[in-house]
Chains A and B, each alone.
Chain A
Amino acid sequence: AQSVAQPEDQVNVAEGNPLTVKCTYSVSGNPYLFWYVQYPNRGLQFLLKYITGDNLVKGSYGFEAEFNKSQTSFHLKKPSALVSDSALYFCAVRGPYGNNRLAFGKGNQVVVIP
């Protein structure tokens, strides 16, 4: 079964500094990888995905993520963090076979300090 690990519970970063949120995954076959963001008392919003092709994918709000097959990682990055980026971030993976189960990590709370 597919699974995701997000090793850090909280990431603190100063405004203007680079932001990285880590994600590693486990799945049989080639993965479909996703990042979502959740603001307080809201549903999850899609940020970006990797299906195939270029290992660096760009998404909404200036976020990007790098797929690394050898390290089974899909880290989320933003060159310059904003206070408004403070939110809960989820990595998710889906396998290519059989059912359409989307497995989520536990989430990372990102706090951007002014």
Chain B
Amino acid sequence: NAGVTQTPKFQVLKTGQSMTLQCAQDMNHEYMSWYRQDPGMGLRLIHYSVGAGITDQGEVPNGYNVSRSTTEDFPLRLLSAAPSQTSVYFCASSQGVGAEAFFGQGTRLTVV
């Protein structure tokens, strides 16, 4: 099983550029989430989805957009990259409230 696949693994952007981080899962999970990980701050929730066509904001949604047109895919869009968005981004999926989340390998993004 591939599990949760994120692409790309590394990315360097210039301030003001836009890009999409891809996330796909093959486990037919309803719930998908995007987190960013910064030193000393743990994982902070950016956006999440409880099913196709349903998304909601997390703790730090500003500057990011998501959509969920299929169960499998949950892309994260950076609208106009800023240095403060330099971080490691993780996508996760789970099935049900009591189920553990499965994480992708992460995308290390640097905005210069």
B72-105 vs A, CB cutoff 8 Å, 1 = contact: the mask equals 0000000000000000001010100110111111
Q: Which residues of B contact A43 (CB under 8 A)?
A: 4, 90, 103-106
A27-51 interface code vs B (CB 8 A; 1 in, 0 out) = 0000010101000011111100101
Residue total for B at the interface (Cβ-Cβ under 8 A)? 26
Chain A residues within 8 Å of chain B by Cβ, number = 26
Q: A50 to B100, alpha carbons, bound, how many Å? A: 10
| Cβ of A19 under 8 Å from chain B | no
Q: Take A42-B105, A43-B104, A101-B48 as given contacts and tell me if A96 and B42 are in contact as well, using a CB distance cutoff of 8 Å.
A: no
Residues on B with beta carbons closer than 8 Å to the beta carbon of A44: 43, 90, 92, 101, 103
Chain A residues with CB under 8 Å of chain B are 6, 9, 32, 34, 36, 41-46, 49, 51, 90, 92, 94, 96, 99-107
Which 4 A-B residue pairs are closest in the complex by CB-CB distance? Answer: A43-B103, A106-B42, A104-B43, A46-B100
Other A-B pairs, 16, CB within 8 Å; known A42-B105, A43-B105, A96-B97: A6-B42, A34-B101, A41-B106, A42-B106, A44-B90, A44-B101, A46-B102, A49-B98, A94-B98, A99-B50, A100-B50, A101-B45, A101-B48, A102-B45, A104-B42, A106-B42
